[in-house]
Amino acid sequence: MLTLSQKAIEMPASPIRKLVPFAEAAKKRGVKVYHLNIGQPDIDSPKCVMDAIHNIHLNNLAYANSAGIESYRKGLAGYYNKIGINAEASDIIVTTSGSEAVLFAMTVLCNPGDEVVVMEPFYTNYRAFAIQTGVTLVPISTKIDNGFQVPPIEEFDKYITPKTKAILICNPGNPTGTLYSKESMLKLGEIVKKHNIFLLSDEVYREFCYSDDPHFSAMQIPGLEQNVLLLDSVSKRYSMCGARIGCIVSKNKEVMAAIMKFAMSRLCSPTVEQIAAEAALDTPQEYFDAVKAEYIHRRDVMCDMLNKIPGVFTPKPMGAFYTIARLPVDSAENFAKWMLEEFNYNGETTMVAPAAGFYATPNTGVDEVRLAYVLKVEDIQHAIKCLEEGLKVYPGRK
């Protein structure tokens, strides 16, 4: 019998991308669509990256080392040490995107049926990786009204069972933009120590922190050297989403040896992209300062405009380049489709990501959307204006 696997049936469509056909249809009708649904920055990649790509002269595009090009791993170690994270090249395995880093971590640490605790809303592809590995995600809810902050630490004890293998966090957070304080990270460390579980820390948005305090990495928590796996990527940091280069960093030699076996099974991460990623390590601080200032400006414009719309609320995120907004609608997914299928304002409309897909708890986040402030300010202003006008006439408004 020609049938699909249970994993194929359970695998959810991406809430970020599943409405793309509606957006494409709108464009074919001549409607301009502002994409606030996906975290694809419009920021130029650093010049040193593009120069490196243009200046590649290889006669044979050969396999790289399965752990990653040695000079790149040494460069990465230097980068981490510069920002206060103790790492050597031997602690690093280059992955084919940050996504593979998460997938490898779940695969190596968990058996089917094991549990990973995650704060919701969470990056939607964590659910996809969990399905692929047979992991059960156990959600702890955070609330939009307090900016999705880490719940009281005693809440975690209620969700940790003998099947719990790890806590998975994203700091700063996608989709919420929440930045975890040093105090919150140290408290998470206490829970990890108490139960002797792993802490998987997705830190791909590290450079986009908008508080006065520096980013505090999970690898800076004292006494957790054997428990922490840092998951990272060049995609957002250097506006290199298409390069698909990430890494795993850990002091746990047993874990890294196991990950290395999976890295060998896929042979290597792309050689050209690793060359570009290594060049990115020379990006001057002025680049990051300018990008950070631009995102703060975009965030302020978007959040201020959203909170002036009757019935709409969004907290002001302190990291990454996303915010979640609560809308006065019956269903954010129905509203998002309607905006693409039936509405335009002066020939324009806005595409958003329904937030329910970022939650594991059923019937949660149904009136919320995630918006990415990755467009120029003028485009953000047009996009939020379209959203405002759409809400005025949407038939499912609450």
**pLDDT for the residue numbered 180:** 95
Residues 268 and 293 in one domain: no
**pLDDT for the residue numbered 153:** 86
Asked whether residue 398 is assigned to any structural domain, the reply reads: no
Residues 363 and 218 in one domain: no
Residues 92 and 221 in one domain: yes
**pLDDT for the residue numbered 137:** 97
Residues 141 and 265 in one domain: yes
Asked whether residue 52 is assigned to any structural domain, the reply reads: no
Q: Is 365 helix (H, G, I), strand (E, B) or coil?
A: coil
**pLDDT for the residue numbered 1:** 86
Final residue belonging to a domain, choices 239, 261, 280: 280
CATH code assigned at 63: 3.40.640.10
Contact 313, 144 (CB under 8 A): yes
Residue carrying structure tokens 């359970």: 10
Residues 257 and 163 in one domain: yes
Residues 97 and 83 in one domain: yes
Residues 193 and 73 in one domain: yes
Asked whether residue 30 is assigned to any structural domain, the reply reads: yes
Q: Model-level pTM?
A: 0.95
Residues 145 and 230 in one domain: yes
Asked whether residue 49 is assigned to any structural domain, the reply reads: no
Asked whether residue 51 is assigned to any structural domain, the reply reads: no
Distance CA 366, CA 74 (A): 45
Final residue belonging to a domain, choices 235, 264, 280: 280
**pLDDT for the residue numbered 14:** 82
Distance CA 5, CA 134 (A): 13
Nearest to 52 by CA among 72, 77, 70, 82: 72
CATH code assigned at 384: 3.90.1150.10
Low-confidence stretches of the chain (pLDDT beneath 70)? none
Domain count for the chain, please give it: 2
Nearest to 236 by CA among 225, 246, 223: 246
Interaxial angle between packed helices 70-82 and 271-280, expressed in degrees from 0 to 180 and rounded to the nearest 10: 30
Strand blocks (E) in the chain: 32-35, 92-95, 115-120, 136-141, 164-170, 198-202, 228-233, 246-249, 322-326, 348-351, 353-354, 368-372
Asked whether residue 266 is assigned to any structural domain, the reply reads: yes
Residue carrying structure tokens 């680049």: 287
Asked whether residue 254 is assigned to any structural domain, the reply reads: yes
Half-sphere CA count of 242, side-chain side, radius 13 A: 7
Distance CA 132, CA 130 (A): 5
In this predicted model, what pLDDT tens digit does every residue of 230-263 receive, in sequence order? 999 999 999 999 999 999 999 999 999 999 999 9
Final residue belonging to a domain, choices 280, 307, 332: 280
Residues 269 and 311 in one domain: no
Q: Which residues pair with residue 112 across a beta bridge?
A: none
Q: Is 228 helix (H, G, I), strand (E, B) or coil?
A: strand
Contacts 24+ apart (CB under 8 A), 381-384: 381/301, 381/305, 382/34, 382/348, 383/34, 383/36, 383/350, 384/302, 384/305, 384/306, 384/309, 384/350
Residues 170 and 259 in one domain: yes
**pLDDT for the residue numbered 398:** 86
Residues 213 and 93 in one domain: yes
Give 384's contacts (C-beta < 8 A, 6+ positions apart): 302, 305, 306, 309, 350
Residues 212 and 333 in one domain: no
In this predicted model, what pLDDT tens digit does every residue of 124-153 receive, in sequence order? 999 999 999 999 999 999 999 999 999 998
Six-digit token string for 356: 């329910």
Instruction: Tell me the pairing of strands 164-170 and 198-202.
Output: parallel
Give 181's contacts (C-beta < 8 A, 6+ positions apart): 213, 216
Question: Domain of 32?
Answer: 6-44+286-393
Asked whether residue 1 is assigned to any structural domain, the reply reads: no
**pLDDT for the residue numbered 200:** 98
